[in-house]
A and B are shown apart, each in its own frame.
Chain A
Amino acid sequence: MKTPVMVLARGDLKLIIRDSTLVMALFGPLAITGLLFSLPMIESLIISRFSFDPSPYRLFIVCFLTQIPGMLFAMIYGFIILDERDEEVIEFISITPLRKQGYLTYKLIMPMLLSVVFFLLIFYATALVPLNPLHGLGIAMMVALEAAIGTLFLVVFSENKVEGLAFSKLLGIMYLAFPLVFFWDSGWHWLSAFLPPFWIAKAFLHSHLGSPWIWSDIFFGVIVHVVILLFFLKAFLRKR
């Protein structure tokens, strides 16, 4: 017997193959992986060409780059949902046993899974900066929740793919919290605590410094992520 989820997964696969979205979906994360592997080379290059030593920024750069695949997966699934809303697939599914909630659960779990796998894989495979595996799991949890937030952000605020594309540019701005946490020495940087990546950046930093605050970062980080996720979830279910 085919479960509704299997039907959906097969549908996605078809969509991905038809649109050759797969190429795109894999290209971005793979490009980031390539970039990470060649980071030491690029660093020495920057020193020689621009007489500027970027090595103190390595932790920041690695943390930042490892977030990008998750964001790309969030965008791809956001676009798939926008597509299916256009073609009224969602209306059709909401009257099947799967219901709208089931549909959404599935469409959010996929980017979450993909981004966690990619995050852990490229972080530990490149091994550019050390990270305690327990801390890594805590951060991975936030990375997963953030992918779901990204997907929902696009579908809640945009009506079609043109708008989705414009808003995907804004999605990146969330990650502004990263430089603020890393480089702003004033207590004012706490102003960005409402941005989910703020807590990821904090956790990275505290883990690196060996500070016990890492656990409170993960605790509050997950809470912030869940609250925002629930807010977007409600907004999506209310929409049409």
Chain B
Amino acid sequence: MIEVKDLHFAYGSNPHDTLRGLTFHIDDGEVFGFLGPSGAGKSTTQKILIGILNRYRGTVSVNGLNLQNLNSDFYESIGVAFETPNLYTKFTALENLEFFAQFYGSGTRDPMQLLTAVGLEEDAHTRVRNFSKGMKVRLNFCRSLLNNPKLIFLDEPTAGLDPVNLRKLEALILKEKSRGSTICITTHDMHVADTLCDRVAFIVDGEIRLIDSPRELKLQHGERFLDLEYRDGTSLICTSISMDKLGTNEIFQKILYKYHIETIHSREASLEDVFVKTTGRSLQ
């Protein structure tokens, strides 16, 4: 779907490259995440893939098309939700969606259904000026799905959402994936990367430090131990047990058999731990 080789980019007259030699590929039907602190180059990378920033060095191809030879038809099958919601404030939610829908040649989705999916059906006829930040984020997301895109770019899609709407949005993104869409997400939210992405790329200072699936990363960088807490009479006992040959581990079986267990955790690393360990940076 997307092939990027040795991508370099510098803003305007800035002598330093913002992106310094990125190489990666994104497969069909994959949810790919760029994870990194703000200013690392996530959004810049995405804007290049979308075709907004075109003065880059290196090769970028999307669907076999070299982005240097892009024309506006490219956008027929692409959906984009930018980080800052950009909507006509003096127009209602529905008017905004209907306006953007008119630009696409092939069939578009029913704007009302999209609004219902993100819980905005009651506000369809409210002007966007009166929307809260979270409502704008959801409307912005709806807009990116209008044209049944095969390739979706979401820049910090969950910023400013409350937990309930966060779940809703995550479910919708996964639904798009099940339709066969390829999705590219930038985020600095570990949880989002963890639950949504098939693979993540860690970006720091315009370089990719690592690309892998969140699950693999967590296992590789974790330890094969279980942490248990159980009650022995009135006292709480904590212990750790190796996960190797757990079925024949006598201590483990004894605890399972004899005591009241309160918690069991495997000691895989969190994605955040892996990030800090491999990049030496925190995500904030």
Residues of A within 8 A of B (CB): 159
Contact = CB atoms under 8 A, between A and B. Distances in A.
Contacts of B90: 159
Nearest to A162: B90
Interface in B74-93: 89-90
A159 B90 CA distance: 10
Contacts of A159: 89-90, 129
A159 B128 CA distance: 13
Interface in B103-137: 129
- Interface of B, secondary structure class, is loop
A159 B129 CA distance: 10
3 contacts: A159-B89, A159-B90, A159-B129
Contacts of B89: 159
Contacts, number: 3
Interface size class of chain B, counting residues whose CB lies under 8 Å from the partner chain: under 10
A46 B90 CA distance: 47
A159 B89 CA distance: 10
A147 B90 CA distance: 29
Contacts of B129: 159
A173 to B, nearest CB: 23
Nearest to A160: B89
A42 B140 CA distance: 58
Nearest to B129: A159
A239 to B, nearest CB: 13
B91 to A, nearest CB: 13
B172 to A, nearest CB: 31
Nearest to A163: B90
B127 to A, nearest CB: 10
A162 to B, nearest CB: 10
A184 to B, nearest CB: 38
B192 to A, nearest CB: 27
A228 B89 CA distance: 30
Interface string B22-56: 00000000000000000000000000000000000
A145 to B, nearest CB: 32
B199 to A, nearest CB: 39
B50 to A, nearest CB: 27
B101 to A, nearest CB: 25
A114 to B, nearest CB: 32
A133 B46 CA distance: 68
A1 B90 CA distance: 43
The 3 A-B pairs with the shortest beta carbon distances in the complex, nearest first, are A159-B129, A159-B90, A159-B89
Interface string B132-158: 000000000000000000000000000
A56 B250 CA distance: 115
A159 B127 CA distance: 13
Nearest to B90: A159
A159 B130 CA distance: 12
A167 to B, nearest CB: 15
Interface in B242-261: none
A159 B91 CA distance: 13
A159 B88 CA distance: 13
A230 B147 CA distance: 51
